[in-house]
């Protein structure tokens, strides 16, 4: 009889590799993807080129031609193109209450004045990303300062959540 047969020693199981192998860490991967999208929108979209725009941007009338105009506090038109400016969310002209509609009119006027005052740069390249409404998503800056910072500082916009258009969780203006 041996000591091992009396005490019934068991050999520990050997593991393959170091520790238990785990599956993909999906929350971390999703967070990394969201961070990359946010950074692309906040710090430049498309192919990284910035095009200078030097023209007047009045508030859009019922009809407009090839010239640019401001649709609302965060959307402009250039000809048939509709461009959603990223980094902020302005109140809606057809908002829930009179306070939101008034703020939206002020935001639209402020954006028109900002865009018309001096040349600015528009990012996005030849094939910019688009939102679910088909609008081009672009950043706008002048002298290294983003229009989003200007509109937020004036109290005419909220910062987007995660840098996306905030139709995922709009903040109330009422």
Q: Is the pLDDT of residue 31 over 80?
A: no
| Angle (CA) 122 125 65, round 5° | 60
Distance CA 56, CA 117 (A): 8
Share of the chain above pLDDT 90, in %: 43
Q: Dihedral sign, CA of 146, 85, 92, 107? A: positive
Whether residue 105 contacts residue 114, with contact meaning beta carbons closer than 8 Å, is answered with no
List alpha helices for the chain, DSSP H: 3-7, 26-43, 98-117, 147-153
pTM of the model: 0.66
Q: What is the mean pLDDT of residues 147-168?
A: 76
Of 105-109, 117-121, 124-128, the range with the lowest mean pLDDT is 124-128
Measuring CA to CA, which residue among 157, 161, 153, 159 is closest to residue 173? 157
């Amino acid at each position: 009889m041996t000591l091992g047969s009396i005490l019934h020693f068991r050999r520990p199981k050997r593991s393959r590799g170091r520790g238990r192998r785990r599956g993909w860490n999906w929350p971390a991967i999703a967070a990394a993807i969201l961070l990359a999208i946010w950074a692309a929108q906040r710090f430049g979209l498309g192919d990284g080129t910035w095009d200078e725009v030097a023209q007047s941007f009045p508030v859009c009338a019922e009809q407009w031609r090839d010239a640019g105009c401001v649709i609302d506090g965060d959307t402009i038109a250039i000809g048939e193109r509709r461009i959603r400016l990223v980094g902020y969310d302005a109140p809606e002209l057809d908002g829930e209450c009179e306070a939101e509609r008034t703020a939206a009119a002020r935001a639209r006027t402020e954006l028109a004045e900002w865009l018309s005052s001096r040349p600015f740069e528009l990012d996005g390249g030849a094939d910019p990303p688009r939102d679910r409404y088909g609008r081009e998503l672009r950043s706008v800056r002048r002298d290294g300062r983003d229009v989003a910072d200007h509109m937020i500082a004036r109290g005419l916009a909220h910062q987007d959540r995660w840098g996306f258009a905030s139709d995922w969780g709009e903040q109330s203006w009422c």
